[in-house]
Chain A
Amino acid sequence: MTVRSRGALAITIAALLFLYVPLVVVVLFSFHNTGSLSLPFTGFSLRWYRFVLSDPGFRSALENSLFVAAWTSAVTLVLGTLASFGLARTRSRLRGPLALLFFLPITLPGLFIGLAMLVFFVRTTLNLSLTTVIIAHCVYVFPYFLLIAIAALERLDPALEEAAADLGANGWLRFWRVTMPQIWPLLAGATCLAFALSFDEFVITFFVIGPDGTLPLYIWSQLRRTVDPSINVVSTLLMTVTLVLWLAAFLFALRAARRRAASGDELVAEVVPL
């Protein structure tokens, strides 16, 4: 069908500009050779990168963020993989309630999760620290991981496992030789996504963080005072890490989808995580 979509195309282009111009401006000014954050742009320089990278506050925030995101994604990978297999392969009556429990955090605004966590940690006298942040991030990230993992498992063709069983493969062999090769790219992608979500999380983290800050917290404290391009540098670095991870997740998903020789539209439907 030849859709006459000139109006829709114009709005699409406008939407893309709206989404990208502010971000491009932030990145652009991270390379500014003066301390000014307004036009005109007078020239490129890496001075603010040097400045930020030599700031011990930034370094520790970066380390903390990597630490938190690594633990969050590792814990999510283990719990999420187990839970997705349990949930996808059961016909138990508990399936519905369990799914509700697992997916509820997605439906709640971060403000509530953060506050409930804060109250919980205060009540149980767990000192606020990076550990509490990791716990909170796991709760927040878990449903996203599960969503992707369950979708991957439900797309598996049960006939393949049956064929493997028919050819004499036992349960363990079927899992490693038939199921895993099909879903590992998506699990890897979901882990990258978990890392990215944790790395960038602020709304919940704000309430449950102790004395050690993460990268978003570092940006937040800068936002409250400064007006020099060092915040643009941190922002650019943060977005780069998140985007690279998302890109990895995207490529993993693309790989999984391509293998199954899906059509263009199916490919799109599978790769868009939502």
Chain B
Amino acid sequence: MDNYGALQEFLGRFLPLSGEDFAILKKKSAVVHIRKKDIITDAGDIELYLYFVVKGLIREYFYKGSQQVTTDLISEGTITGSVTSFFTGAPSHYCLQAMEPCSLVAIHKGALEELYRSNRSWEKFGRIITTHFLLQQEKQILSSTRLSPRERFLHFVAEYNHLVQRVPQKYLASFLQIKPETFSRMKHLLRKNHKKQTAA
């Protein structure tokens, strides 16, 4: 699958986009490659792009004093950006950093707004993408308020097992709002359980 195949599949989950419309979207966007550790959007930048992650892993964080607080981990097959800054045009609170070499499809705010203005089906596209962002946000809010650290950990492992290996432990602990010591203990317990199960 080329860079755009994954994007077409992602969008297809929300709404059918005609080949013609997809060709327009393709013309209006660009594929960018980011090196590991590079900053995609820095705190204080005004976010001008939304990114679809074709390959790689991105961490979203902000600085609380000198400490980094991880607020999101975004891997293949989804869309990201410093969304509030993108919407408001105000400087971003958050930094986006590539944790692995990344291939992204980037679409500029101006191009997207042109699409929205061009016809109603693009407006619908915009509403659906915005709904996606809102749902992701609400899921995170509910998980951080409803679940205990232990439940958050288990939830994350069940849903994003592939990320447990890929993301350094300190960032995962910060994202899940779990103390690093507690996180190690949980991970250890999980491994023990797993062994027991395989043995049985």
The answer to whether A binds B is: no
Spell out A's residues near B (CB within 8 Å): none
